[in-house]
Amino acid sequence: MNDTTSPVRARRSTGAIALEFLGSMNLAITLLVVIAIASVIGTVLQQNEPYTNYVMKFGPFWFEVFKALGLFDIYGAAWFLILLGFLLISTSICVWRNTPHILRDMRHYRVDVQEKSLRSFHLKAEWDTPCDRSDTAARAAALLSARGYRVRQRAQDEHVTVAAMQGAVGRLGYILSHASIVVICLGGLIDGNPPLKWQELRGEVRAETRDIPAGEVPAESTLSTDNLSFRGSISIPEGGTSSVVFLQLRDGYLVQELPFTIELEQFRVEHYPTGMPKSFESDLVIHDDDLKEPLRQTIKVNHPLIYKGYSIYQSSFGDGGSSLSMRAWSLDLPHQEPLELNSNVNRFLRLTTTRGERTLEFTDFKLYNIFPLDENDTSGKKFRNYGPSIVFKVRNPAGEALEYVNYMLPVELEGRPFFMSGMRATPSEEYRYLYLPADAAGTPQRFMALLAAAHDVKRVRSTIETQLGDMVGTDAASKEVRSTMIESITRLVALFVEQGIDGVVKHAEASVPAEQRQEAINSYVNVLQGVLGALYVDMLRSEGVDVAQGVSDADSQFFDDALNTLSMLGAYGSPFYLQLSAFEHIEASGLQIARSPGKDIVYLGCAMLMVGIFMMFYMHQRRVWIYLTPRDGGTNVLFAGSGHRNRMEFEREFHALQAELEQAVPRRAAAD
């Protein structure tokens, strides 16, 4: 590259110095490395998350520092864009400075080269040949052009110079590839939407952070159809329409209006047997006054619809407000009459429960839940579908919420059916599951009946009385003991059904010395088993089961399961169990809509870049000269060459050429 550096000038203006600096190789390389390093930050730190996540992760102090540095949206941060800007300027200056000289160099054969400078070449050879000058020149020129060189000759005084060159177009590679950087950046800049950034900077456009319907978003957060470039997303339920999309902006969003309306007719997901989605596609209808009739098209992942320069992509899917019918079974009441509820996903209900006001927020519905059959099974082949489920939150007046996932259908565990309900307090936890035994009819009815009976103090007390029977005498003192026992057992049962086994253990911890505690708990459990067992047998009788011959294995198994469930109920946290009884699945399609007028410019730049780079690497400009001087009736041949790139390869080529030349214009025999 020594031939591209500008000659040192004696006096230079400040502008020239600045230009020199901006176009310098050192700056270019530094920029390449610095941008690479800066880009790392954005990949390590998750970008554009809700701000609260960052506060939680880094604490308020570092949050502010990072926010000021723009680290949460680094690729949009001013300092990062300035770095890119410098690279753009540097490359532009570089191209602008080198192009004229490269173009000249491509056309010049340099026939006026000086003998002295040829002698200083690294690759050169010299010999005398008996052939005469013009014959030598002709043979050399013919050989070189047969080897793909373009040749020029010049005779001056008694010398002849044959100058040859090959692969000069390769030099265009430099111009193409470096100009392409400029082109790509320009395209990217257009898509980066500078006018919008400017409006944002001046406060004319502000992100909306509240969760409100699109129609209520104020004008300063709404962008008209004049906006040239954006990329946003929208979720449309089946049968629904939209003529806006939402653009994410820092900790909020903007509403972008569209010049047409998108209707989602139908959405389809297909799954592989593993539960992995295989394909999802949306039947869209575009309504536009400019269209004679609505445009219908199905889009799927990797197959977008492009309309009026707006590209509409399938990006995700979710629930579009499926309607849900549910039965709420109270977990606190002594009688069991489930409450029928109706709602939709993304809606909520307010209920007055035994434990006060509760808001029920329905957040998701899933038609399939496919999990590996065995968690240790790595083959990934055995799967099981757990059927439909709903996800909802139960929020108390203080705003605290527990999240639940309830499966509609009983799940077989060890051959017996259970209703599964998962609970967690925060999204980062795993669900803890409650398994509620299902009765023969596949309902929670029987378990709920037992639970209600256990809540029925009168019934519990009379059961205890029957059980105690004649165990205690009839004198006054014994009566006293008897009624204390009844009272404390009744309280024990109440404690158990309200707080589960945890409550019983806590009670023991508070009232029994440590060394006798385990024993006490065991006897509590025995008593509970006895009382609840008697209640259960009563219940079976009233169901019409013949218990004269004892309780069947299945029924007694049911009781064990129910007791297990009861002991876990205390930690369940909800005043009711919600059973999904029916649903109508409504899906929503997640669409991404983008308008990027700079895309074609970027693609043009990419094409230039690829062609340019291959030209740079694989088409080398190389030159050779043959300088002929008459000597002793023959001719002295001075052969020299220089390759622009790829020294070793050119050296090989040069020696091969030299050998051929020495055949074409042979050396004068030494004896001559």
Partner 1 sequence: MSVSSDYLEQEFKQPSLLKRLGWFDWLWALLTVAGTVYAHIHYVEFMDSYEVGILYGTAITLIWLGWTWKPTRQLSLVIALLSLFAIALYGSDLARGDSNFFLKYLVSSQSAIMWMSALYVMATFAYFFGMFARSDFSNRVGSALTWSATAMGFTGLMVRWRESYLISHDVGHIPVSNLYEVFILFAVITALMYLFYEGRYKSRQLGGFVLTVISAAVAFLLWYAFARGAHEIQPLVPALQSYWMKIHVPTNFIGYGGFALAAMVAVAYLLVERRPEGWLAGRLPSLEQMDDVMYKAIALGFAFFTVATVLGAMWAAEAWGGYWSWDPKETWALIVWLNYAAWLHLRLTKGWRGRPLAWWSVVGLFITLFAFLGVNMFLSGLHSYGTL
CB of 1 to ligand HEM, least distance (A): 5
CB of 639 to partner 1, least distance (A): 15
| Residue entry with tokens 């757990």 | 386
Q: Does 3 bind partner 1 (CB under 8 A)?
A: no
Q: Please work out, in degrees rounded to the nearest 5, the angle formed at the alpha carbon of residue 430 by the alpha carbons of 424 and 436.
A: 65
Total chain residues near ligand HEM (CB under 6 A): 18
Residue from 181, 408, 464, 528 touching ligand HEM (CB under 6 A): that is 181
Q: Stretches 327-335, 361-369, 459-467, 600-608: which one binds partner 1 (CB under 8 A)? A: 600-608
Pairing of strands 277-287, 252-271: antiparallel
Report, in this order, helix, strand and coil percent for the chain, each rounded to 5. Answer: 40, 30, 30
Residue from 224, 302, 352, 511 touching partner 1 (CB under 8 A): that is 302
Residue from 159, 308, 517, 645 touching ligand HEM (CB under 6 A): that is 645
Q: Does 483 bind partner 1 (CB under 8 A)?
A: no
From the list ligand HEM, partner 1, none, which binds 46 (C-beta under 5 to 8 Å, kind-based)? partner 1
Considering the complex, state which of residue 22 and residue 534 has its C-beta at the smaller distance from partner 1: 22
Residue from 72, 307, 313, 496 touching partner 1 (CB under 8 A): that is 313
**First-last CA distance in the chain:** 44
Considering the complex, state which of residue 381 and residue 541 has its C-beta at the smaller distance from partner 1: 381
Q: Does 378 bind partner 1 (CB under 8 A)?
A: yes
Considering the complex, state which of residue 278 and residue 479 has its C-beta at the smaller distance from partner 1: 278
Q: Which parts of 141-180 interact with partner 1 (CB under 8 A)?
A: 141-143, 145-147
- Comparing CA positions, the residue from 481, 274, 289, 517 lying closest to residue 378 is 274
Q: Does 91 bind ligand HEM (CB under 6 A)?
A: yes
| Residue entry with tokens 């295989």 | 278
Q: Does 28 bind ligand HEM (CB under 6 A)?
A: yes
Q: What are the phi and psi torsion angles at 49 (to 5°)?
A: -90, 165
Q: Does 517 bind ligand HEM (CB under 6 A)?
A: no
Task: Determine the distance from the C-alpha atom of residue 470 to the mean position of all C-alpha atoms in its chain, rounded to a whole number.
Answer: 71
Contacts of 308 (CB under 8 A, 6+ apart): 259, 260, 288
In this structure, the number of other CB atoms found within 10 A of the CB of residue 628 comes to: 26
Q: Does 90 bind ligand HEM (CB under 6 A)?
A: yes
The CA radius of gyration of the chain, in Å to the nearest whole number, is 43
CB of 44 to partner 1, least distance (A): 7
In this structure, the number of other CB atoms found within 10 A of the CB of residue 425 comes to: 12
Inter-axis angle of helices 476-511 and 457-468, nearest 10: 120
Q: Does 441 bind partner 1 (CB under 8 A)?
A: no
Question: Is residue 335 a contact partner of residue 369, using CB atoms and an 8 Å limit?
Answer: no
- Comparing CA positions, the residue from 111, 200, 230, 232 lying closest to residue 164 is 111
Beta strand spans in 90-198 (E): 123-129, 150-156, 159-166
From the list partner 1, ligand HEM, none, which binds 178 (C-beta under 5 to 8 Å, kind-based)? ligand HEM
Q: Stretches 283-291, 498-506, 540-548, 644-652: which one binds partner 1 (CB under 8 A)? A: 644-652
Considering the complex, state which of residue 68 and residue 648 has its C-beta at the smaller distance from partner 1: 648
Question: Is residue 284 a contact partner of residue 305, using CB atoms and an 8 Å limit?
Answer: yes
Residue from 1, 398, 471, 671 touching ligand HEM (CB under 6 A): that is 1
Beta bridge partners of 243: none
Distance CA 63, CA 71 (A): 10
Q: Does 21 bind ligand HEM (CB under 6 A)?
A: no
Question: Is residue 624 a contact partner of residue 149, using CB atoms and an 8 Å limit?
Answer: yes
From the list partner 1, ligand HEM, none, which binds 23 (C-beta under 5 to 8 Å, kind-based)? ligand HEM
Q: In 512-622, where does DSSP find H-type helix? A: 514-543, 553-569, 599-618
Tokens describing residue 357: 């006001």
Question: Is residue 608 a contact partner of residue 183, using CB atoms and an 8 Å limit?
Answer: yes
Q: Does 503 bind partner 1 (CB under 8 A)?
A: no
Distance CA 26, CA 319 (A): 55
CB of 4 to ligand HEM, least distance (A): 6
CB of 430 to ligand HEM, least distance (A): 46
Q: Does 6 bind partner 1 (CB under 8 A)?
A: no
Residue from 22, 217, 534, 613 touching partner 1 (CB under 8 A): that is 613
Q: Which parts of 47-66 interact with partner 1 (CB under 8 A)?
A: 47
Distance CA 319, CA 312 (A): 20
Position of minimal CB gap to ligand HEM: 94
Q: How many CA atoms lie within 13 A of 468 on its CB side?
A: 21
Residue from 512, 664, 667, 668 touching partner 1 (CB under 8 A): that is 664
Total chain residues near partner 1 (CB under 8 A): 65
Question: Edge-to-edge strand order for the sheet containing 576-584?
Answer: 339-344, 323-330, 576-584
Q: Report CA-CA distances (Å) from 90 to 94, 134, 183, 290, 291.
A: 6, 49, 13, 46, 47
CB of 609 to partner 1, least distance (A): 6
Q: Which parts of 193-232 interact with partner 1 (CB under 8 A)?
A: 231
CB of 379 to partner 1, least distance (A): 6
Q: Please work out, in degrees rounded to the nearest 5, the angle formed at the alpha carbon of residue 358 by the alpha carbons of 356 and 362.
A: 165
Tokens describing residue 80: 């990062």
Q: Which parts of 263-292 interact with partner 1 (CB under 8 A)?
A: 272, 274, 276-280
Q: Which residues bind ligand HEM (CB under 6 A)?
A: 1, 23, 25, 28, 87, 90-91, 94, 98, 171, 174, 177-178, 181, 613, 616-617, 645
Q: Which residues bind partner 1 (CB under 8 A)?
A: 1, 25, 28-29, 32-33, 35-36, 39-40, 42-44, 46-47, 75, 138-139, 141-143, 145-147, 188, 231, 272, 274, 276-280, 300-304, 311, 313, 315, 378-381, 592-594, 596, 599, 602-603, 606, 609-610, 613-614, 617-618, 645, 647-649, 660, 664
